[in-house]
Structure formats: C-alpha cells, structure tokens
C-alpha cells in the first residue's frame, strides 16, 4: 500500500525524472510525488502541499546534496512560470528532451529509443509576445495560480524597453481614469524596433478620459477596446508590427497569435519548410501565415491556409496578398473546414494547434484528409502525444521529432514531429 502522507509532512526524496508542467517525479513508499524546485538525481527534503488518491505534490525546502546543475534563484519562480530557474541551462534543455520522449511513450504509446534533441535559446529578452495585467494602477504578470501581480521585468523574458513602455501605458491608464481591470497585449518584431500594444478593458470597466492616452516612447502603435467589443479605438500609430523572414514580410496585430521567441523564429520556420516536399500544402491553424506564407514564397507549394481567429485572418490575408494564387485563405474554424473538405491527391498537412491541442472533431477530420505527410508543431507535449497517437492509429508512423526551447527557464517546450505513411 502507498504511504499515508498529509499536507505539511516533510519527506526525503530523490526525484527520478522530469514531469510535464515543471515538477520532478519522485516516489515515497509506493506513492508518486511531484516535486517543485527539484532536479532528477538530487536528494532533497520536501514539504507535502496536497495529496490526491494516488499522487502527492510537494515543494523543496532543503537540498541534501546539490546537483551540479543547481543554481541560485533570485525571484519567485511562479512569476512568468520560471519553474526551471534553479537548473543550469544545458541541463534544462536535456530535461525538456526527456519530457517530450516521456510524453510520447507514456501518453502516445510511441516509444523513442534515442534522446530527443532540443534547440536552445538565449535565456533573456526572448519574448516577442506577452499578455500583462493592470490592477489598481500596477502592471505585471500574475503569479502562477493566483491573481497577485509580480514584476514582469524581473523575469528577464522581456526586453527592458518593453517593460518601460508597458509601465508608461499603465500610468496613462491611471491618468485616463481607468475604473476596473485591464490587460495589455504586447507584440514586438525580432529587432525590437517595432512595438505595438493593445489595451483590453474588462467589460465592467471604463475610461473617464480616453484622450489622456498619448504617444509613448518605445511604442510604435497603441489601441484599446472593451473586452466584449469587436471595434477597437486607435490611439496612435499602427497596431501592427512587421518582420521579414528571408524575402517574406509578415505583419501581425498585437492581438494575433505568433510564435513568441525572437531568437528561434527563423530556425523553427526553416525546419517546417524543409520538412515539406514540393507540392500542395494544407496549413491548419495558420495564424498570420508564418508557415503557410513562407512555404508559398519558395515557389514549390500551393497552400490552403485555414484560420478561425478574426485578427489573425486579417493579417493572414495581407501577408498572403503578394503571393497571389499560391495561397488560398480560408476563414473558418478548423473543425468546420475538415468536416467538409474532400481528400485529394498527395499533399502535406501542417498543423500548429493551440496549447489545448486538437479537438476530437478536428483530429478526426484531419486524419480523414489522408495527407501523405504531416508536419506537426505543438507547444504542449501532452496534447502533442495524444494527437500523434490518433495519426499513428490511422496508419501513420512518427518519422522524427525534435524540440525547440521557445520559452527558456519555463516548463514549456515546442515539439515538431513528422509523420508519414
């Protein structure tokens, strides 16, 4: 029988391996314990936080013998999700490869014998996108699992100019008589010389004097809207930023989805392009066209790009326009598209679903399309493994998989898998 533990107990543990979400898996007299602040192979004393039927959660209170990769932590790791902050970066990258491999074997029942390579990133200043929260005149991230604000600048994820700009805008919101809560969507280009902010006011909030919002140094465009309103108010500049990848210009609104790491954007995109043989491509969850438009620009593909989010589709149409008939933009949910699309000749399917993964309807329809090759990009290893299994059950084989550390020092890792049949 597993040991009986109660919250507040302190136990001696030696974690075995990383688990998805940032904790490390240990065992105590038959009970699985997920430990925060630990490193596999490192003996620690941990305090039990909560206990479920066959699982306990704990946090490190004392390190018995420090792992060679352990390093000091200067901020609360719950700010910005820095759950790997105590681990040296090379070891972080190795552990994330293990997390992908474990998820594929355990959840997807697709074992991988070799270590999964993960492309590293600089740890600081990598984020091009972020959502920050304004509460009572203060601005920052939420501490994980709470509505308590923390200083986003201390995480090192954002450029210093971005942090300063967000604080200035928050001050202007206070001057404009903001009542209630607001969120700020931040978008930057890779160079950091274009920065668009969109303020989203909660439905029960208001601005007494919107004219108090003004141009802000370091911001090239500012807009705002009520959270439940489609129409936005432009304060100054353009609510877009633009990047160039090779010869391809990609515009995106502050509210549109885009990959978040400025340092790995190009190699991630190139990996997807190289994985697609010449011929037709169907790009589901196309966003603003990062993969689909770049594929069309090579002259080797015609692309059907499917996206349901209105702000992203507006950018997708603009980004596709220079490529003429090489890109067909479809504005509808993926579930609706795959339900009516008819399987055709050989083509490549590119998938980049949200963190929640593909819905059952989307996955069933995507498999039914019968692509000869699938290039699957995912930001969540658990849903990635689950959805890969759906393709394997339909006769596909996972040919290769690799990771990209788009969010250093956090538990997140991007996976790119190639399936063939």
Span 47-100, pLDDT tens digits: 999 998 889 999 999 999 999 999 999 899 999 999 999 999 999 999 999 999
Shared domain check, 388 and 271: yes
Shared domain check, 177 and 150: yes
Residue 107 lies in a domain: no
Handedness of CA 179, 156, 252, 351 (dihedral sign): negative
Residues 6+ positions from 270 with CB-CB distance below 8 Å: none
Residue 273 lies in a domain: yes
Shared domain check, 224 and 134: yes
Shared domain check, 165 and 271: no
The Cα–Cα gap between 180 and 202 comes to 7
Residue 120 lies in a domain: no
Residue with tokens 């604080």: 167
Residue 202 lies in a domain: yes
Shared domain check, 390 and 281: yes
In which region does residue 180 sit, left (phi positive, over 0), alpha (psi from -120 to 50) or beta (all else)? left
Shared domain check, 398 and 277: yes
Which of 70, 89, 106 is the last residue before a domain boundary? 70
Q: Dig out the tokens for 324 from the structure.
A: 């003429």
How confident is the model over 176-193, as a mean pLDDT?
A: 95
Shared domain check, 192 and 323: no
Residue 96 lies in a domain: no
Shared domain check, 147 and 7: no
Residue 307 lies in a domain: yes
pTM score:
0.94
Give the CATH number for residue 10: 2.40.50.140
Shared domain check, 415 and 303: yes
Query: Which residue range is the domain that position 28 belongs to?
Result: 1-70
pLDDT of amino acid 244: 94
For the chain, how many structural domains are there in total? 3
Give the CATH number for residue 262: 3.40.50.150
Query: Is the pLDDT higher at 113 or at 57?
Result: 57
pLDDT of amino acid 123: 97
């Amino acid at each position: 029988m597993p040991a009986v533990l109660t919250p507040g107990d302190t136990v001696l543990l030696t974690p075995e391996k990383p688990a998805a979400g940032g904790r490390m898996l240990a065992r105590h007299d038959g009970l699985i314990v997920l430990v925060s602040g630990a490193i596999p192979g490192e003996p620690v004393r941990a305090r039990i936080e909560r206990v479920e039927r066959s699982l306990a959660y704990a946090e490190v209170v004392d390190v018995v013998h420090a792992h060679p990769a352990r390093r000091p932590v200067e901020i609360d790791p719950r700010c910005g999700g820095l759950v790997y902050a105590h681990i040296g970066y090379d070891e972080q990258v190795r552990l994330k490869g293990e997390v992908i491999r474990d998820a594929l074997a355990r959840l997807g029942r697709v074992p991988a014998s070799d270590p999964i390579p993960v492309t590293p990133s600089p740890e600081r200043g990598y984020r091009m996108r972020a959502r920050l929260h304004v509460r009572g005149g203060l601005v920052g991230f939420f501490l994980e699992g709470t509505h308590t604000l923390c200083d986003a600048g201390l995480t090192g994820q954002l450029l210093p100019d971005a942090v300063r700009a967000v604080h200035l805008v928050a001050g202007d919101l206070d001057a404009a008589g903001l009542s209630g809560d607001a969120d700020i969507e931040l978008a930057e280009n890779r160079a950091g010389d274009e920065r668009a902010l969109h303020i989203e006011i909660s439905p029960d909030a208001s601005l007494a004097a919107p004219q108090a919002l003004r141009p802000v140094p370091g911001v090239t465009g500012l807009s705002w809207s009520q959270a439940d309103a489609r129409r936005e108010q432009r304060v100054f500049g353009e609510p877009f930023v633009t990047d160039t990848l090779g010869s391809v210009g990609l515009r995106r609104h502050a509210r549109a989805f885009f990959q978040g790491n400025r340092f790995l954007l190009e190699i991630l995109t190139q990996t997807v392009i190289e994985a697609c043989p010449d011929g037709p491509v169907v790009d589901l969850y196309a966003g603003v066209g990062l993969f689909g438009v770049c594929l069309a620009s090579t002259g080797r593909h015609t692309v059907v790009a499917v996206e349901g989010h209105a702000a992203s589709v507006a950018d997708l149409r603009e980004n596709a326009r220079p490529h003429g008939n090489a890109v067909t933009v479809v504005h509808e949910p993926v579930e609706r598209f795959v339900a009516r699309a008819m399987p055709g000749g050989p083509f490549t399917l590119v998938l980049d679903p949200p963190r929640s993964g593909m819905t059952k309807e989307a996955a069933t329809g995507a498999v039914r399309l019968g692509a000869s090759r699938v290039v699957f990009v995912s930001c969540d290893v658990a849903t990635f493994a689950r959805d890969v299994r759906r393709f394997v059950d339909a006769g596909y084989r996972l040919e290769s998989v690799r990771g990209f550390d788009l969010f250093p020092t956090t538990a997140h890792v991007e996976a790119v898998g190639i399936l063939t049949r």
